[in-house]
């Protein structure tokens, strides 16, 4: 069950049916592309880095320890009560990590080490592991290495209704300096950035991926990751303090409270929570994202 009314929320908290977890994720020192998306799960911190390191091309669930911890509460249902976010700057004068669009997601299933240089070769996926928790999700292409140039690919998949043989739109990849960036940008060009791959018309989700075929080489490795987007958020201003001249402090905390700012999204037991982000202000290199996730269950 969930909540029938406002009163049940504080009652649940008073009964101990709530949890709070702090997290800190620190992108590497390699520059990320302005306005492109990046995968915070890939970076060091708490929870620890998730490199999608398992057997190539074989479906695998994301290690639960790589997600922001939330308890298991069944038969109750758990809901996000509050998300607070701040981003520390890489240097006293850096504003590059300001203005981040974020998507809190439940990371479900991934296919690692897809060779973006295998032009004309159908790379078949092994599907001995099924998608957990949901019937389907959105597909994110995450770099697992540097990528040297602009590639193009499509993938075939089974949609959320269990229909196999569906074919994605043609996607462009782009050059990146390291793993962790979302390299499949858009169906239009390599310089237009979107978090999720575009599917065959009429489909709203992917249950599993059957194959990937590149028609132009991208010069790297990537993972296709199926996630369930839970809510969107935003970081407005970087947190920093100048160290010369007129000393000035900058920063803001962006808070997203259930019922006030967003619906109280459900977090299913076993969820592997992490965040995707677009750095609209510049590179996220050497910055860090810190936040608090608060949940309540009933």
Q: Which residues bind another protein (CB under 8 A)?
A: 6, 9-10, 13-24, 26, 44-46, 48, 65, 69, 71-74, 81, 84, 86, 88, 237, 239-241, 249-253, 255, 257-260, 288, 290, 292, 294
Whole-number minimum distance, CB 264 to another protein, in Å? 10
Whole-number minimum distance, CB 88 to another protein, in Å? 6
Pick between residue 201 and residue 247 the one whose CB is nearest to another protein.
247
Which positions ≥6 away from 187 have C-beta within 8 Å? Answer: 169, 170, 171, 172, 198
Cα–Cα separations (whole angstroms), residue 29 to 47, 51, 177, 182, 283: 19, 16, 10, 16, 10
Whole-number minimum distance, CB 72 to another protein, in Å? 4
Whole-number minimum distance, CB 84 to another protein, in Å? 6
Pick between residue 204 and residue 261 the one whose CB is nearest to another protein.
261
Pick between residue 4 and residue 120 the one whose CB is nearest to another protein.
4
Which run of H or E residues covers position 171? strand 171-172
Q: How far is 84 from 135, CA to CA, in rounded Å?
A: 29
Whether the Cβ atoms of residue 282 and residue 25 lie closer than 8 Å to each other? no
Q: Enumerate the H helices of 104-205 as residue ranges.
A: none
* 180 CB-side CA count, 13 A: 25
Whole-number minimum distance, CB 294 to another protein, in Å? 8
Pick between residue 164 and residue 242 the one whose CB is nearest to another protein.
242
Whole-number minimum distance, CB 255 to another protein, in Å? 8
Pick between residue 86 and residue 233 the one whose CB is nearest to another protein.
86
Which positions ≥6 away from 163 have C-beta within 8 Å? Answer: none
Of 202, 200, 222, the C-alpha closest to 212 is 222
Pick between residue 182 and residue 289 the one whose CB is nearest to another protein.
289
What are the phi and psi torsion angles at 97 (to 5°)?
-90, 10
Whole-number minimum distance, CB 71 to another protein, in Å? 6
Pick between residue 176 and residue 267 the one whose CB is nearest to another protein.
267
Q: Are strands 238-241 and 78-88 parallel, antiparallel or unpaired?
A: parallel
- Report angle CA 193, 199, 202 to the nearest 5 degrees: 130
DSSP character string of 240-275: EE--SSS--EE---EEEEBTTTB---EE-TT--EEE
């Amino acid at each position: 069950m969930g909540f029938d009314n406002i009163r049940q929320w504080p009652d649940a908290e008073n009964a101990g049916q709530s949890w709070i977890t702090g997290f800190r994720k620190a992108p590497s020192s390699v520059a990320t592309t302005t306005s492109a998306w990046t995968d915070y799960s890939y970076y060091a911190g708490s929870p620890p880095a998730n490199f999608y390191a398992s057997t190539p091309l074989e479906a695998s669930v994301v290690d639960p320890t790589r997600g922001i911890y939330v308890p298991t509460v069944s038969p109750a249902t758990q809901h996000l009560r509050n998300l607070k976010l701040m981003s520390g700057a890489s240097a006293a004068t850096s504003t590059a990590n300001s203005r981040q669009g974020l998507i809190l997601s439940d990371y479900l299933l991934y296919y690692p080490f897809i060779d973006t240089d295998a032009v004309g070769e159908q790379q078949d996926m092994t599907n001995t592991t099924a998608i957990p928790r949901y019937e389907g999700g959105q597909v994110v292409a995450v770099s697992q290495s540097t990528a040297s140039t602009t590639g193009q690919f499509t993938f075939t998949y089974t949609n959320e209704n269990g229909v196999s043989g569906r074919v994605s739109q043609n996607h462009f990849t782009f050059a990146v300096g390291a793993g962790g960036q979302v390299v499949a940008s858009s169906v239009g060009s390599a310089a237009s950035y979107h978090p999720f791959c575009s599917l065959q018309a009429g489909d709203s989700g992917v249950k599993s991926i059957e194959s990937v075929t590149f028609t132009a080489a991208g010069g790297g490795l990537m993972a296709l990751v199926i996630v369930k987007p839970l809510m969107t958020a935003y970081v407005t201003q970087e947190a920093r303090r100048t160290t010369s001249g007129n000393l000035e402090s900058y920063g803001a905390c962006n808070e997203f409270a259930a019922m006030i700012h967003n619906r109280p999204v459900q977090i299913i037991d076993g969820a592997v929570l992490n965040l995707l982000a677009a750095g609209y202000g510049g590179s996220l290199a050497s910055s860090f994202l810190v936040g608090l996730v608060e949940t309540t269950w009933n």
